Amino acid sequence: MQMETYKEMNLTYYPFMKKMGNLFQFKTLNFSAMIGLYDTLAVDDSLGRPMPSGFTREDYLNLQHLTSWYSLFRNTFNLSRALNTNVLRRVITDFDNRINNRQ
């Protein structure tokens, strides 16, 4: 269930993350990058700095929503398992391949 929730949010917000990636020249499009962006923009907003052209208040609120959702998701579900499953599978496969090549 957690992985489906994560995938659903990722699919729902991918167009928005792509827009933010293009606007702020991000190469990595994921929730962590968006949270870092939101944190930076929240400080800039508090200091009264101008926002980039093409960045709207609605975009700011979407980033705020993503940050709140991701924090809730991370604290509610076992996020490390959801995010690292594929990485760990790859590591195990690499080790299995190395072991098999030695035999």
**pLDDT tens per residue, range 25-58:** 988 888 888 989 999 999 999 999 999 889 999 9
Q: Give the per-residue pLDDT at 98.
A: 85
CB 12 within 8 A of CB 1: no
Average pLDDT, the chain: 84
Q: Give the per-residue pLDDT at 56.
A: 93
Give the 3-state DSSP-derived string for the chain, with helices as H, strands as E and coil as C.
Answer: CHHHHHHHHHHHHHHHHHHHHHHHCCCCCCHHHHHHHHHHHHHHHHCCCCCCCCCCHHHHHHHHHHHHHHHHHHHHCCHHHHHHHHHHHHHHHHHHHHHHHHC
Q: Give the per-residue pLDDT at 103.
A: 45
Model confidence, pTM: 0.66
pLDDT band (50, 70, 90) for residue 81: low
4-8, 47-51, 72-76, 91-95: segment of lowest average pLDDT: 72-76
Q: Give the per-residue pLDDT at 87.
A: 77
The better pLDDT of the pair 102, 71 is held by: 71
CB 63 within 8 A of CB 38: yes
